[in-house]
């Protein structure tokens, strides 16, 4: 993932769920919607979707790369404006060898604001160097210190 939209991981339950935080800023819309600044729904859904992808990588022990294959039942319930902080809750519905499914909900001030059900397609297995690279990125994002030797 090159366009990272996660600010901070708050809670990680091994192989089951994650809670993370995304603060929405004016950077997304500096020149868009000048009279009523609103974060585009696609950006909000992308932000919470990324949290699901990291959960699948973690739960699968970083064995393979993943790509977003399908969004099911996605939506935005209210306007998301600069300054809003989305608390994202992701939970694995299924974790398979070829595909995984994650249910993700984003809350602003304890009110459901954005949601999606994501299907991730698994790519060819990572080699050891790729697994180590992804574990290091995950450690950086989460503040954890996972030991690649214990995972691989």
Distance CA 80, CA 28 (A): 11
Terminal C-alpha separation, the chain? 21
pLDDT computed for residue 88 by the predictor: 92
Domain residue ranges in the chain = 8-26+33-143
**Mean pLDDT along residues 56-61:** 92
Domain 8-26+33-143 class?
Answer: alpha beta
Assess whether pLDDT exceeds 90 at residue 91: yes
Banded pLDDT at 11 (limits 50, 70, 90) = confident
pLDDT computed for residue 95 by the predictor: 94
Region at 53 (left for phi over 0; alpha for psi -120 to 50; beta for the rest): alpha
**Mean pLDDT along residues 34-55:** 85
Q: How many other C-beta atoms can be found within 10 angstroms of the C-beta atom of residue 122?
A: 19
> Mean pLDDT over all residues of the chain?
87
| Look-up of token digits 């729904």 | 41
Strand partners, 13: 17
pLDDT computed for residue 1 by the predictor: 43
């Amino acid at each position: 993932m090159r366009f990272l939209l996660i600010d901070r991981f708050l809670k990680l339950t091994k192989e089951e769920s994650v809670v993370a935080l995304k603060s929405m800023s004016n950077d997304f819309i500096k020149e868009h919607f000048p009279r009523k600044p609103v974060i585009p729904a696609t950006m909000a859904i992308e932000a919470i979707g990324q949290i699901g992808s990291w959960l699948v990588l973690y739960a699968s022990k970083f064995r393979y790369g993943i790509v977003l294959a399908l969004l099911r039942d996605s939506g935005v319930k209210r306007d998301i404006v600069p300054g809003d902080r989305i608390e994202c809750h992701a939970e694995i519905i299924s974790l398979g060898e070829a595909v995984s499914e994650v249910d993700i909900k984003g809350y602003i001030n304890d009110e459901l604001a954005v949601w999606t059900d994501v299907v991730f397609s698994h790519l060819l297995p990572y080699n050891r160097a790729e697994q180590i690279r992804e574990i290091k990125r995950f450690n950086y994002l989460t503040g954890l210190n996972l030991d690649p030797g214990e995972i691989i």
